[in-house]
Amino acid sequence: MKSNYKKIGDHIREVNVRNTELKANTLLGINIDKYYMPSVANIVGTDMSVYKIVKRNQFACNRMHVGRDYRLPVAMSKTENDFIVSPAYDVFEITDTEKLLPEYLMMWFSRAEFDRNAWFYTDADVRGGLPWKSFCDMQLPIPKPDKQKEIVKEYNTIVNRIALNNQLIQKLEETAQTIYKQWFVDFEFPNKEGKPYKSSGGEMEMNLELEKEIPKGWKVNKVGNEFKITIGRTPPRIQEEWFNSNLDSTDWISIKDIVSCGTYIFNTNETLSKKAVAKFSIPKIPINTTILSFKMSIGKLAITTKEMLSNEAIAHFIISEETRLSTEYVYCFFDYFKFNALGTTSSIVDSINTKIIKDIDIVIPDKEVLLSFNALIKKLFEHKKNKELETLKLEAIKDLLLSKLATIEN
């Protein structure tokens, strides 16, 4: 153990300030990604005076479920406004911020290695609580303050760039949704004069399938007739060499992968060997294909960036030579459909099936309009793809910086 390693407990103290005067009314919880979030607890009729107040640069943590979740939910307050947390949480602060910076300590808590160490110290309770004494006995390297400031500055540069990228990605996502709705729901795509089609008197005709008017010359088809829809498979896990083989392996998409990615899926947690793919006839997903989860996290979409595979809970919409629809159009269609036709699907049902998907009606625009849309939307999606890839690389740099904290010298 390096000489600059010190016990956490030697540099923190518990804080137990209760909301007795009810001045703080914002109740927050902590997620496993170590951020404060609005609490989902039902507080109707609850005595809020017993809740603990958290001030700027103070920490709160929930030690109760570390063994179950394999992570310690802990977060640092960065806001000037006081808020409250559950009385079951521990609130603490650094005793001397001249020796240990709050942001540096939060960086240490953000390390995957810290969570693994915390899990090791959990007790025998079914939920695997982390005793306070064990938490305080955990150690971290504490370099000189100037070195801490340097590390924090480097880290914040990366974190801020990731935040800016995520804001831009969200804006691009919203723009794509807005354009799709304007063109193919409101039918206000630009006509030959560049004016909104429907409101400028564009010719419409009644469509019996949708029970509403659509632009004349457009069609409506079933999703199952417009695309080849394939479903992935999961080989039995009795053969370890089928999974994560170093040779002849292909990325295999699980629900966890599709939920954690953005619009584009670049990598997966597991791969399948060539033998497994052949033995179980697992269909390959072509590059640049829209995929959709229809069991758990229903309606979550992604676009493949290379040839991939998936499990049986994910549908793949293979673009045929007969259809004019693009991958981006399919993505936008289902992105709009899941929020407006099914609502929050996961709150309605736990799963849907491929028959439901195949029976969905999809609008088929005329060739000229679709070509114009594709030209516009592909640029937007390409920009989003580049930003997501950049963010992925920044996250890797951030994780590398965190892992190197263990080797920091003065």
E strand or H helix that includes residue 331 = helix 327-340
DSSP 84: E
- pLDDT tier, 347 (very low <50, low <70, confident <90, very high otherwise): very low
Grouping H, G, I as helix, E, B as strand and the rest as coil, residue 237 is coil
For the chain, give the percent of residues with pLDDT over 70. 95
Q: Both tokens of residue 207?
A: 């469509």
pLDDT digits (tens, 9 = 90+) for 359-405: 999 999 999 999 999 999 999 999 999 999 999 999 999 999 999 99
Check residue 349 and give its pLDDT.
46
Strand-strand pairing, 270-273 and 249-253: antiparallel
Name which residue leads in pLDDT, 346 or 405.
405
Q: Name which residue leads in pLDDT, 410 or 355.
A: 355
- Protein fold of 5-142: Adenine-n6-DNA-methyltransferase TaqI; Chain A, domain 2 (3.90.220)
Let me know: does 223 contact 352? Beta carbons within 8 Å. no
Give 2's pLDDT tier (boundaries 50, 70, 90). Answer: low
CA distances from 262 to 197, 247, 387 (A): 33, 28, 10
76-123: per-residue pLDDT in tens? 999 999 999 999 999 999 999 999 999 999 999 999 999 999 999 887
Residue 125's pLDDT is 63
The Cα–Cα gap between 353 and 355 comes to 5
Lowest mean pLDDT among 152-161, 241-250, 305-314, 342-351: 342-351
Query: Does 75 score more than 90 pLDDT?
Result: yes
- Cβ contacts of 144 within 8 Å, gap of 6 or more: 410
Identify the architecture of domain 219-364 in CATH.
Alpha-Beta Complex (3.90)
Q: What average pLDDT does range 283-309 have in this prediction?
A: 93
Domain segments of the chain as ranges: 5-142, 219-364
Fold match flag (5-142 vs 219-364): yes
At residue 124, the pLDDT reads 64
Please check whether residue 109 is in contact with residue 71, taking contact to mean a CB–CB distance below 8 angstroms: no
Q: What's residue 242's pLDDT? A: 87
For residue 227, give both structure tokens.
Answer: 């695309």
pLDDT at 343 over 50: no
Q: Can you say how many angstroms the Cα of residue 88 is from the centroid of all Cα atoms in its chain? A: 28
When mean pLDDT is compared across 8-22, 275-289, 346-360, the lowest value belongs to 346-360
